[in-house]
A and B are shown apart, each in its own frame.
Chain A
Amino acid sequence: MMDSDLVSLWLTLKLAGVTTLVLIVLGTPLAWWLSQRSRASERSWLSNTLKNIVEPLVALPIVLPPTVVGFYLLLAFSPDNLPGELWQSATGTTLAFSFYGLVVGSAIYSLPFYVQPLQVSFSALQRELIEAAATLGASPLDRFFSLIVPLCRRGFIIAICLSFAHTVGEFGIVLMIGGNLPDETRVLSIALFDHVEALDYGKAHILAGGLLGFSFVTLFLLYAVDRRWQHGTRTT
């Protein structure tokens, strides 16, 4: 592996790590909110309708071509338009061609891979258990960290691993908004594309094989974790 590919490797891990952190902070409450469907009543009608709209919105990146997201981000990041203008006046630089721009793009693109497994996990929780903890005087935060997180650890692990791996595998959006800057936006998938375009198949093989191996191992471990925990919950 060349030095520049090592830089790309580090950048890719950093991007996937930061994106996953952002998703943990923003995606967890979102997944919780989506999972709490109240039974039909006058008061919950609005909240349920809102959830019916937000749920497909969260899932959109699964079906949309990355070029659609990339195109809109490119327009949004432009200093000619409001989001790009605000960012530029705050930081003096553009969101396009920057690491933070990629974090924004990746968080949007990996959002369903974080929210959906977690939402499923939250929905499967027994309400009585949480209500019992509440009557015993546990605060909401306490209930969340000492009851919900351990009970849903399988959902958390799957959500975290999937969003990390999916960000490592991101290509289309980065290609459209990244500008191919070493140490800033040239992630592994872009470096691989460069090698192929430059007909350097030797270097391309190393990166492509590495990404294939990484993705396989990640999914293999995920399935293993999934099997073991399913087994574990059955025996307890």
Chain B
Amino acid sequence: MTSSNGWVRRKVLVAGVLIPLFVHSSCYADHLRIGVASNFRSTLEKIATGFELTHNTTVEVSAASTGALFAQVKSGAPFDILFAADSVRPALLESDGHTRLRRTYAYGQLVFWTPGKPANETSLKQYKRTMAIANPRHAPYGKAAADTLKIMQVKSDRVVYGTNIAQAFNFVRTGNAPAGLVALSQIKHLDVPAVEFWVVPPQSYAPIEQQLVVLKDASVKAELFVAYTFDPDTTRLIEKSGYLVSDTSNQTGTGAER
């Protein structure tokens, strides 16, 4: 009798503690949790603010590298939407059955940045000092940067890798590397003078196709957020932040090559 009583009490306790947790994360629809690749963070925060005002929903944004976000989702992190920096890991999540929607939201643009000096095609091709890029092995902007260095035959004496594009940017910003191949979105975010950077032509690297996924157990409001992301006003904001949106790159043909 006492043992069953204890069991019941324990069960009630478990329910009392755990159910509110689950209710909070999945059924409570007025709350969205979004994981975002570091390069898109500031843009997404602007989009989220607009969405919060118009949809009476709170949005929580966590930024990390796409690889870290991927690993978190695989181990059950309660995200509703993931804005990745590539299309490889969203596709992997989809094929593993973790998602209910996958869509390209932007194409990243690579720029050559030399603080305090004019940047252009010639100065990139003649650049010989330390160059900061994101790690080509797992960061999409790093892959694009490595492609560019090869195609442009840049003879930099030392190529240093940031874990992600944010770190590569910081190596340049702190003056430890005199130049870097970084994201246009970062340049725009920091209001870098136009002479100091040069937008690398998209033909020099495989497109940086950035995809989002809505995760399987996401709130119903996740689809609303995605729709809001593809709204013409938001699309303009994404373009202004330094990205090409899918339509534009399809017209120029870069998006279809893969």
Given contacts A78-B176, A196-B67, contact A96 B171 (CB under 8 A): yes
Q: Contact between A198 and B138 (Cβ–Cβ < 8 Å)? A: yes
Give bound CA distance, A84 to B178, whole Å: 13
Q: Report A177-219 CB contacts with B as 1/0, cut-off 8 Å.
A: 1011100000000000110111100000000000000000000
B84 CB to nearest chain A CB (Å): 13
Q: Contact between B162 and A179 (Cβ–Cβ < 8 Å)? A: yes
Number of interface residues of A (CB under 8 A): 23
B135 CB to nearest chain A CB (Å): 6
Give bound CA distance, A121 to B181, whole Å: 51
Which of A79, A84, A96, A196 has the most chain B CB atoms inside 10 A of its CB?
A96
Interface of B is mostly: mixed
B63 CB to nearest chain A CB (Å): 15
Say if the beta carbon of B174 comes within 8 Å of chain A. yes
Residue in B closest to A201 when the chains form the complex, CB atoms: B71
Q: Contact between A97 and B130 (Cβ–Cβ < 8 Å)? A: yes
Give bound CA distance, A84 to B174, whole Å: 11
Among B67, B160, B174, the residue within 8 A (CB) of A180 is: B160
Question: How many A-B contacts are there with CB distance less than 8 Å?
Answer: 62
Q: Contact between A97 and B67 (Cβ–Cβ < 8 Å)? A: no
Which of B70, B132, B160 has the most chain A CB atoms inside 10 A of its CB?
B160
Give bound CA distance, A75 to B160, whole Å: 17
Say if the beta carbon of B141 comes within 8 Å of chain A. no
Given contacts A181-B160, A196-B71, contact A78 B138 (CB under 8 A): no
Q: Which residues from A are CB-within-8-Å of B158?
A: 97, 181
B interface residue count range (under 10 / 10 to 19 / 20 to 34 / 35 or more): 20 to 34
> Which residues of A, 72-90, contact B by the 8 Å Cβ criterion?
74-75, 77-81, 84
Say if the beta carbon of A175 comes within 8 Å of chain B. yes
Give bound CA distance, A97 to B175, whole Å: 12
Q: Contact between B176 and A197 (Cβ–Cβ < 8 Å)? A: no
Give bound CA distance, A89 to B14, whole Å: 65
B131 CB to nearest chain A CB (Å): 10
Say if the beta carbon of B152 comes within 8 Å of chain A. no
Say if the beta carbon of A123 comes within 8 Å of chain B. no
Say if the beta carbon of B65 comes within 8 Å of chain A. yes
Residues of A at under 8 Å CB distance from B?
74-75, 77-81, 84, 94, 96-97, 175-177, 179-181, 193-194, 196-199
Could you give 14 example pairs across A and B, Cβ below 8 Å? A74-B174, A77-B176, A79-B175, A79-B176, A94-B176, A96-B171, A96-B177, A179-B160, A179-B161, A180-B135, A197-B67, A197-B138, A197-B163, A198-B137
